[in-house]
Structures are given as structure tokens and as C-alpha cells.
Amino acid sequence: MARVKLRNILSGITVKEAMQANMAHLPENTPLKAVISHFIKYKTRTVLIRGTRDGQINGMVSRTDLTGAFYAGLSVEIPVSGIMTGPPVTCRASDSLEAAMETMKSGRMHQVYVTGTETDQIAGLLDWSDIMGLLYRYCRACTRSGRREIKIQGQNLPRLRVRDVMTQQVARCETYLHLAGVIEVLSERQIGALLVTDTDSRPAGVISKTDLIVAYARGLGLNEPARTIMNSPVTVCKESDLISEAISRMLLFDIQRLFVQTGHRITGVLSLSDVARLRSGTCRACAAGRIAEN
């Protein structure tokens, strides 16, 4: 019996097609407060840092580094050179997207910087939402898929729903937990945002790393309660929603995760990076399960 080679829709796509181009970088003497403003303005998760003498990229700083500085009680006026890490992990613009995704998966990274084809200069950034955005565009444009279930070897492939992919253990805290405690939980659980519940265990809001660094820049203290800076209401979806719809919402709203609500309770969380890591798009129209809708 002939074996059918499953064609992966990612075949032939390079990093260059998915990445965001033109990366900003800041000089290493930039005070943390101004670095945080940059994060807010450009809605970014990391920023590159260049040396003041040679202008070369010598590091990067992430929101985690900033929350670490907040936790350590560092002043927001200190230069970013004090907390930056790096140099950043990179891949090449000409690399296959699949290879870059492997690098990100095995390193448990949320993003990778991209160097140009000719030089070692950093040309762009690739994160999971860029990859999902590209796949979404490809799948919507594809004329070979139908808007129906495809039969494979006589079996209908079910379309994935949120409940099939979500994480059921949802990290949560109460509205009165102080910001130091919030930072500790995010760090221990290696997550980017925390659900805040009120005394009835009902969802009250969400605190993300971005909210924490804004609090840091505004001069709020580590003993401030979570309720002061949390975002309400919580953006939710249902367990029965299609994964494709959930992805679409996360991309459209530029958010990293959806909390899953059943009745009045939060029963799970679905993050964009988990979905992207899980299924790397072998196209349904080309006879295997696919992540983005059509």
C-alpha cells in the first residue's frame, strides 16, 4: 500500500514571511522608566539594547527582567544596562519557519530575533502570534479546503474545541494579594498572567506582566493589592468553542490568552503559544489535521 506523504502547509515558508521587521533598540543608558514607556507604546514583549559607545546590539530586556527589578526594589531611574540579559537568541530570515518553531519549542521561548540574510544585523522578531497570523492568512486563502469535515480513512476528523486543548490548572490569586506576591506566583508557575478572583471565587480581573511594569513605572509599591492594577472584565471563551474561533479572537484582540468560563467559574485557560506549539499546521485540505479555520 502506498504511503501518502502528508504535506505540511509550513513547507517552504521562511521566517522572513512571518516575522515583524524593523526592530527598535534603545541605548543602554536608558532609564528603566523610559524602557517601560517603550514597552507600552510599541506593545512589545522584549526590546533590544545597544551599547552607547559602538551602537551595536549587546543585549535585550524583557518584561520579566523588569518585574524582577521591581521585585528587587530597584529604582526606575537606573539605566537598563543594569538589568539587561543577552545577547539574544537569533535565527536567520532565510531559515524555514519550521526550524525556527523547533528552536522556540525546545527552548520554551516566546520569541526569537531574526538576523538578515547577508549580515548579522538584527532584522526582525518572530513570535507565536506572528506565526499564527501567517497560518491564519494562508488557511483562509486556501481554495482547496472546504468548509466542512474531511473524511480521512473513513473517519471524520473532529474539529478541535477549547476543552481539548486548554490547561485546566489555572493559576489564580485573590484581589488582596500584594504585587510582590503576584510576581512570585508568575515566576514560580512560569506564566505571563494571573487570574484574580474575589472572595466568592468569581473572576474579578487579570494581571499581566505588562500591568506590573506599568505599576512599577507609576511608582506603585510592592505591597499594593492586585485589585488596584488588575484589568476587568476577564476576556473569556467557552469550553465548547472551536479552537479556530479562539485563535481568531486572540489575534484580533492582540491578547495572549483566553480564560475558559463555565457558568460562573473559570475552568481553564488557553494561551496562543500553547496552541501554536501543539499543532504546527498540516493542512486539512491536504489530508491531516489543521489548526486554523476554513
Partner 1 sequence: MIAGNIMDTRFRFLHPDQSIVEAIALLRAAGDNTGKKIFGMMVLDEKDHLIGMLSMFDILLYIRPKHIGIFGAMADVSPEPLFRNLLGRVKNVRVEDLMSRDLVTIGPDTHLLVVMDTMIKKHVRRLPVVEEGRVVGIIYRSELFDRLMEKIMEA
Can you give the binding site for partner 1, defined by CB under 8 A?
33-34, 36-37, 40-41, 43, 129, 133, 136-137, 140, 214, 248, 251-254
Burial category of 15 from C-beta neighbours within 10 Å (exposed 0-12, middle 13-18, buried 19 and up)? buried
Nearer Cβ to partner 1 (74/214): 214
What's the grid cell of residue 128? 507565536
For residue 196, CA distances in Å to 205, 228, 246, 279 come to 5, 11, 21, 29
Considering the complex, state which of residue 175 and residue 248 has its C-beta at the smaller distance from partner 1: 248
**Closer of 7 and 50 to partner 1 (Cβ):** 50
- Closest to partner 1 by CB, 163 or 249: 249
**Residue placing its CB nearer to partner 1 in the complex, 41 or 264:** 41
**Helix axes of 63-71 and 209-217: crossing angle, nearest 10 degrees:** 50
Cis preceding-peptide flag for 225 (omega within 30 of 0): no
Query: Is beta strand 172-174 parallel, antiparallel or unpaired with respect to 90-92?
Result: unpaired
- Minimum Å distance from CB 18 to partner 1? 11
- Write down the least CB distance from residue 123 to partner 1, Å: 18
Check: CB of residue 123 under 8 Å from CB of residue 115. yes
Select from 221, 176, 182, 218 the least CA-distant residue to 198.
176
Q: Which H or E run contains 139? A: helix 128-141
Q: For the beta carbon of residue 116, count every other beta carbon within 10 angstroms.
A: 15
Q: How far is the CB of 209 from partner 1 (least distance, A)?
A: 15
249 with 224: CB under 8 angstroms?
A: no
Q: Which is nearer to partner 1, 34 or 74 (CB)?
A: 34
133 or 289: CB nearest partner 1: 133
Q: Closest approach of Cβ 184 to partner 1, in Å? A: 24
CB of 154 to partner 1, least distance (A): 33
Please report, for residues 197, 260, 264, the alpha-carbon distance to residue 200 in angstroms, rounded to integers and kept in the order given. Answer: 8, 17, 10
Least distance from partner 1 to the Cβ atom of residue 167, Å? 23
Could you tell me the smallest distance in angstroms from the CB atom of residue 43 to partner 1? 6
Minimum CB distance to partner 1 smaller for 26 or for 287: 26
* DSSP-derived pairing of the beta strands 236-237 and 257-262: parallel
Question: Phi/psi of residue 41, each to 5°?
Answer: -65, -45
Q: Nearest approach, Cβ of 196 to partner 1 (angstroms)?
A: 16
